[in-house]
Amino acid sequence: MLTTVREYDAKLDAKRRLTLRSVVFEYYHVSEYNDGRILLEPRELTAPFQVSANTLAMMDTAVQNLKAGNVSDAVDLSEFTEE
């Protein structure tokens, strides 16, 4: 069962915009119904923690090269360490 977290009245401004107060999400999917109801559902434009297929393919290639011994010389990072 859904519970009401907050309830307030809002008015359209001169440019016919509606301001939502203290929202958690930046993007919303809007559904308008013929009886006048408007439903806002929070949306994220990208799926969180998702790695692209191209990145996964590059990682697979890198691991194959590592296993085959096809690697570059070691990089000296000693100048960046504090002693």
What is the residue-wise DSSP string for 59-82? HHHHHHHHHTT--PPPP--GGGS-
Domain membership of residue 19 (yes or no) is yes
HSE-up of 81 (CA within 13 Å, CB side)? 4
Residue of 42, 48, 45, 47 lying closest to 20 (CA atoms): 42
Domain containing 51 equals 10-70
pLDDT in the model for residue 83: 66
pLDDT in the model for residue 66: 93
pLDDT in the model for residue 24: 87
Average pLDDT over residues 2-29: 90
Average pLDDT over residues 19-34: 91
Domain membership of residue 17 (yes or no) is yes
Domain membership of residue 1 (yes or no) is no
Give the model confidence (pLDDT) of 62-81 as tens digits: 999 999 999 998 899 988 88
Domain membership of residue 18 (yes or no) is yes
Domain membership of residue 28 (yes or no) is yes
Instruction: With H, G, I as helix, E, B as strand and everything else as coil, classify residue 58.
Output: helix
Domain membership of residue 49 (yes or no) is yes
Domain membership of residue 43 (yes or no) is yes
Strand-pairing partners, residue 31, are 39
Q: How many domains does the chain have?
A: 1
Domain membership of residue 80 (yes or no) is no
